[in-house]
Amino acid sequence: MGVSFDKIDGVIWYDGKLVPWAAANVHVLTHGLHYASAVFEGERAYGGTVFKSREHSERLKQSAQILDFEIPYSVAEIDAAKQLVIDTNNLPDAYVRPIAWRGSEMMGVAAQSNTIHLAVAAWQWPSYFDPAEKLKGIRIGLADYRRPDPQTIPAMAKAAGLYMICTISKHRAERAGYADAMMLDWQGRVAECTGANIFFIQDGKIHTPIADCFLAGITRATVIDLARRRGIEVIERRILPEELSGFSECFITGTAAEVTPVSEIAQWKFKPGAISERLMADYSAEVQPKGRAVAA
């Protein structure tokens, strides 16, 4: 286990100013802690530039609005805060975490007048999965919990509370020897993994679930665009678990996962192949600050 996250050296941008890492604290009676009134983003900086920073900042603002609060900073100010953090901490290649939450003025379900806080941290974080394991494809289990009906949760927000079942599911998967878990939706259809979107390949075409009860990730959109630039057809549709035996390849996408091939989901087996490998390489090239273009 590495250094505890509250003991990292550096600074964090907190409500408009840089503060020492150890001083970036909240009170135990913070509304965001008790009632999950918090939204966040997961981003990566490559070569000193946050990939698709504006898209992430826009989604952060939208997520807050869905949770009925307004972040008191503009998209441009959030982007500038992220850049300041990676520059000040000298982290050209880093994971970046903006988070906004309701403060502690009122403790109860209703807290409309609570102060809205915003913080941005960044730290070194290598590939989410072991590089050797990633090349041969990770093993994924099947989660017990399902993605809820979007009429019961704010599914389109990247909100802290929505990840409770993800943490539980990933812990159970890891204890069973898997790297992650695939979640079905409330109707029993394939949805996503605990922190990544999922794709399947059949006869040279890519199939991925319709993202209407989980986040359509920014990495997901990037990879779909990269595939289409290659002339690969991408089909967004409902996918049932019994269809998985008909797919030859599988991979997952996310800011942390980037593009990671999958070799196994519970009883279903896949073999990382040409399309997965091509998109891994294309994504690696795309995220670099210069020359973000895929060769024809």
Spatial distance between the Cα atoms of 52 and 55, rounded to a whole number of angstroms: 5
CA atoms within 13 A on the CB side of 282: 22
* Catalytic residue of the set 136, 158, 269, 290: 158
Contact 200, 249 (CB under 8 A): yes
Specify the DSSP element, H or E, that contains 54: helix 53-66
C-beta separation of 66 from 159 below 8 A: yes
* 204/224 Cα distance (integer angstroms): 14
Residue 136 annotated in active site? no
Q: Which of 63, 66, 41, 65 is nearest to 52 (CA)?
A: 41
Instruction: Find where tokens 């964090």 sit.
Output: 12
Task: Give the number of other Cβ atoms within 10 Å of residue 277's Cβ.
Answer: 15
- How is residue 69 written in tokens? 């609060």
Residues serving a catalytic function are 158
